[in-house]
Amino acid sequence: MGYRDTIRNAIQKDKVCLEIGPSYNPIVPKADGYKTVVFDHLTKEQLREKYKGHSANINLIEDVDILGSTLADVHGTFDCIVGAHLIEHTPDMIGFLKDCSRLMHDGSSLYLIVPDKRHVFDALRPLTSTGNVIDAHLLGRTRHVGALFDTKINASSRGKRNLWGPREEAPIDHIHNFAEAKKLVSNALNSTKYVDTHAWCFTPESFRLIMFDLGALGLIDLVEERFHTNNGSEFYFVMRKGKIDEQVASQERAALAIEALEVERAFNRSLATTQINFRQ
């Protein structure tokens, strides 16, 4: 059973749910009886036009109830908030989580599906740190520039796939070269237009650590409710309203940090024996 099915099974159909950017693949579709409010940056008609001709079933695209560019455009409270492959795109992750919290009551849950950078095109990018996330928030970041370069220059495939499993042994191939990355950054520096990309890169364990840090620092009032990772290219994380117990914060943080470091070291060891082909 995939994580989307896990979320569907966890959410009762009488709960009011906000789904952020479901596009052509809704997790809790209104068509299945869920009381879902759809938030997206494009209308249903625009989404159908965008994905026409792609390998996507545009008939699954549902009416967009709230049209906007950020969660600041959404008001009210919801029993649950759902977002898949979303948080890694946010220029200001703390701002995003604060907005989610504003839309939640004490019994609400935030369901996230997040890519594991080890098994996607971000494999050669460094992990995001808590400090990176804090700086983006304090700077009020609203768009990507540096992340555009990092994504483009490091974008990789393995076995001609942008997503792969942990047992993949094919060489890692760079998709773009420096000239392409330079052009992308040059265009971004000469424009104020938002260009989407992955701003953040995580392993499941590094993501848990960052969420813990943000809660322990008092920067967000959300804490881990459930967490699960398997051998695929994504992981599943659920948050609820709450605070970190300061009496045990240091001990818990140390355990999470050790786990995250062990996972990172194991991945780096695997990279050391992997053929990597750079484009010129």
> Is 232 a residue whose pLDDT tops 90?
no
- The rounded distance, in Å, linking the Cα atoms of 51 and 59 is 10
In this predicted structure, the answer to whether residue 231 has a pLDDT above a threshold of 80 is: no
Tokens of 218: 């008092």
| Residue burial 97-107, b: 16+ Cβ < 10 Å; e: rest | bbbbbebbeee
CB atoms within 10 A of CB 211: 26
Distance CA(278)–CA(280), nearest Å, equals 6
CB 4 within 8 A of CB 27: yes
By the 8 A CB rule, do 194 and 148 touch? no
Query: How long, in residues, is the chain?
Result: 280
Is 258 a member of any domain?
yes
Query: Is 44 inside a domain boundary?
Result: no
**For the chain, how many structural domains are there in total?**
1
Q: Could you list the residue range(s) of the whole structural domain that residue 209 is in? A: 116-220+243-280
- CA atoms of 127 and 186, how far apart (whole Å): 25
Amino acid identity at 265:
R
pTM, two decimals, is: 0.95
In this structure, what DSSP letter does residue 30 have? G
Question: What pLDDT, on a 0 to 100 scale, did the predictor assign at position 276?
Answer: 96
Q: Does some domain include residue 212?
A: yes
pLDDT at 204: 97
Residue type, 199: A
Is the residue at 187 inside a domain? yes
Residue 166: what pLDDT?
87
Question: CB count, 10 Å around CB of 150?
Answer: 20
- Asked if the structure places residue 38 within a domain, the reply is no
Band of residue 1 on the pLDDT scale cut at 50, 70, 90:
low
What is the predicted pLDDT for the residue at 56? 86
Q: Which tens digit of pLDDT belongs to each residue from 48-105? A: 999 988 888 999 999 999 999 899 999 999 999 999 999 999 999 999 999 999 999 9
Please work out, in degrees rounded to the nearest 5, the angle formed at the alpha carbon of residue 51 by the alpha carbons of 149 and 4: 85
Q: What is the pLDDT of residues 142-168, one digit of tens each?
A: 999 999 999 999 999 999 999 998 889
Strand 276-277 and strand 172-174: the pairing is: parallel
244 phi, psi to nearest 5 deg: -80, 135
Q: Specify the 3-state DSSP secondary structure of 56.
A: coil
Query: Is 58 part of any domain?
Result: no
For residues 106 and 241, is the Cβ–Cβ distance under 8 A?
Answer: yes
Note whether 82 and 7 are within 8 A (CB): yes
Structure-token pair, residue 180? 């392409």
Residue 206 in any domain: the answer is yes
Q: Evaluate whether residue 91 is within a structural domain.
A: no
